[in-house]
Structure 1
């Protein structure tokens, strides 16, 4: 009888470089205790519209239960195209994806080869570094400087090299809440033209821009429009993150490549859900939703600044990026602080270390999701200041 030995399986270097969910232990604790989750960006506001739910039921009942066209349902692409600025050609410039996460991976796999370099801003969305690792490329981080989280143009320029094939942006940004200005995008455009670089911009929070700002898409900036790929999503606007509906926008030549990679990765996303969104959801009042989200930003900002955190108000998106050092005096890093706050109040925030290339830079920061119902944020306030009154 042969004796077996236990060996670790061989895995690719790209897979080995991936980290697990940095929030797993905190999320488990939060669920066990029935905590209020202000960690994940899963929408608590707005709520899914009743007509979109009914449209999904009807699509299934009427037989739309098989493969859709890999590029996405045409009506949905037409509806998405009409919401974009400038409008896109739904036939040749849009691809429906399995959420923005697949869209991001498809954009990178279509643009970079192993050994190429991707420029990105730091801190940023944790998934960006993971997607770059999976593509086999090398990240080149450009630091953003507190308290307003802007880049230094000289440091940005220094990150480019002959190996730079892509720049990965996010506006409005997770976690900082920054909205890139037209001037900043113009500086990026000059470098992208000089180094012949594709610019991939995650604009999933484009409907949530505050204080009278007007979002400038990369598709509106000379020098970027013709070399850009936009990653978009329906998850946040319509509160259907579990439906996994995202999209890619690019020029026809890039779109042809994106669609080939998309077909290999997933072939397509759920047909009845695409049809439902095309028929119903894109009639939602996004400006009104944006105004309501701004009110929630202000509500959360008031709670956590009153608590003692230093916060530059988010310009867009659904997160606050908060400096906890006035509360801790260096006694706790952000992870220990998040555990202590969870123990004392039953409120869960995100330690910001994983948002940074060097996690120690995030030791004094937490991320706070405010896309929640106003009543829930009021309960957060009661818990935090109730615990303080009790001396916790």
Structure 2
């Protein structure tokens, strides 16, 4: 039956992560791999969802109030004037908003520039839309953007740029200068930008997230995607949105309607409660995650991993293997599972070797991604298990 598959479907193959997931389950390993919180969402948000279900908000629904609150947040955070009636589409999570944005603007043969490493969903969505991904490597260890590499990636077929900041997997927050570079090329080449800003509230050490759309001339050529998932610890609720100028937003909504029709109705109602959260909620969130970030940096340093770049945002840490390690990233993660009972993600799944020079390929199996969006109890349990790891200094792993 394989001959019945589409050309795109045939390119989607299982990754090493699936094999590692099976290993991790057998070992009952602590999950520092997947980017979801393992602690409860705030009670007042869960209560709002329960209330919505009991009030029979169970049918197709579009809650305009979400758009009103999202528009207010964009004004408060970034000074953006967004019309809640025309410029926002509610989707089934950021992932669907992102896919709908690509399907709305990309034609077969269009090239889409994105950065390497990057979250794996981006390339798949580009290919499903008929587009051609073109990767621009970020330079380790600080994952900086080289303006020359970026501009040289553009051709007469380039239609859009993908930007994820704060960044998964590295934890990088793109600087104002880097954003100016991206915006300048978009304006001069008359290209669109599609951004993934789901980690917008997760920045540390007084680093500020700047939305690309806030730069001169970019609001009308940017589609912003984000969601409720990370900020309120509800990754399974699937409430996200796309923000764009009215014609672009209308196209995204039209695609969304033909794919899923509407986001889950009771969780849309609960989103209203979440988005009304006071400023202190977001400040507390940032403080708590900064503490978790500091904890895992210290923890992984103790087992010999190299952390030259401390995450500035998101809730991921991209750690380099010990300098003297002869293992690949996949082999290291297998050893981590089997000998310590902790699972992480090999970095190779975020890189795209066919777009890299030989020098750049040298580091692409040298990184492992850890998620620190876990309870303090989970992180402490991971520390205890890692004390037995061969690379660990057990006398220094009591971090509690």
Please indicate, yes or no, whether the TM-score normalized by the shorter chain is above 0.5.
Answer: yes
Q: Residue 175 of structure 2 corresponds to which residue in structure 1? A: 181
- Partner Cα separation in structure 1 for residue 79 and residue 6 of structure 2: 41
Is it true that 1:265 corresponds to 2:255 in the alignment? Answer: no
Give the direction of change, closer, same or farther, for the CA distance of 1:259–1:385 in structure 2 (3 Å limit).
Answer: same
Report SS of the residue matched to 1:145: coil
Among candidates 52, 58, 62, match of residue 51 of structure 2: 58
- Partner Cα separation in structure 2 for residue 210 and residue 258 of structure 1: 32
Report SS of the residue matched to 2:4: coil
Is it true that 1:153 corresponds to 2:150 in the alignment? Answer: no
- Partner Cα separation in structure 1 for residue 67 and residue 14 of structure 2: 33
Q: Residue 366 of structure 1 corresponds to which residue in structure 2? A: 368
Residues 188-203 of structure 1 aligned to structure 2 (within 5 Å): 188-203=182-197
Q: Residue 72 of structure 2 corresponds to which residue in structure 1? A: 82
- Partner Cα separation in structure 2 for residue 149 and residue 171 of structure 1: 12
Among candidates 329, 334, 342, match of residue 339 of structure 1: 334
Report SS of the residue matched to 1:241: coil
Q: Residues 125-180 of structure 1: CA distance to partner in whole angstroms, max 9, x if unpaired? A: 11111111111111111111111001211110000011000000100000011111
Check the 8 A contact 2:303/2:393 in 1, yes or no: no
Report SS of the residue matched to 2:136: strand
Check the 8 A contact 2:192/2:221 in 1, yes or no: yes
Among candidates 302, 305, 310, match of residue 306 of structure 1: 302
- Partner Cα separation in structure 2 for residue 111 and residue 19 of structure 1: 26
Check the 8 A contact 1:238/1:281 in 2, yes or no: no
Q: Residue 166 of structure 1 corresponds to which residue in structure 2? A: 160
- Partner Cα separation in structure 2 for residue 325 and residue 310 of structure 1: 6
Aligned-pair CA distance for 1:20? 3.2
Check the 8 A contact 2:232/2:274 in 1, yes or no: no
- Partner Cα separation in structure 2 for residue 208 and residue 390 of structure 1: 29
Report SS of the residue matched to 1:200: strand
- Partner Cα separation in structure 1 for residue 301 and residue 2 of structure 2: 48
Report SS of the residue matched to 1:242: coil
Aligned-pair CA distance for 1:280? 4.4
- Partner Cα separation in structure 2 for residue 391 and residue 317 of structure 1: 28
- Partner Cα separation in structure 2 for residue 13 and residue 366 of structure 1: 31
Q: Residue 250 of structure 1 corresponds to which residue in structure 2? A: 244
Among candidates 333, 345, 353, match of residue 348 of structure 2: 353
- Partner Cα separation in structure 1 for residue 175 and residue 393 of structure 2: 44
- Partner Cα separation in structure 2 for residue 141 and residue 391 of structure 1: 38
Equivalent pairs counted in the alignment come to 380
Aligned-pair CA distance for 1:289? 0.3
Give the direction of change, closer, same or farther, for the CA distance of 1:228–1:391 in structure 2 (3 Å limit).
Answer: closer
Q: Residue 4 of structure 1 corresponds to which residue in structure 2? A: none
Among candidates 317, 321, 325, match of residue 324 of structure 1: 321
Q: Residue 384 of structure 1 corresponds to which residue in structure 2? A: 386
Report SS of the residue matched to 2:311: coil
TM-score (norm 1): 0.93
Aligned-pair CA distance for 1:287? 1.5
Check the 8 A contact 1:49/1:238 in 2, yes or no: yes
Q: Which range moves more in the overlay, 319-328 or 92-101?
A: 319-328
Among candidates 13, 25, 30, match of residue 36 of structure 1: 30
Check the 8 A contact 2:100/2:255 in 1, yes or no: yes
Q: Residues 311-365 of structure 1: CA distance to partner in whole angstroms, max 9, x if unpaired? A: 110010000111104251xx21000110011011100011010100118542111
Q: Which range moves more in the overlay, 358-367 or 36-45?
A: 358-367
Residues 273-288 of structure 1 aligned to structure 2 (within 5 Å): 273-280=267-274, 282-283=276-277, 285-288=281-284
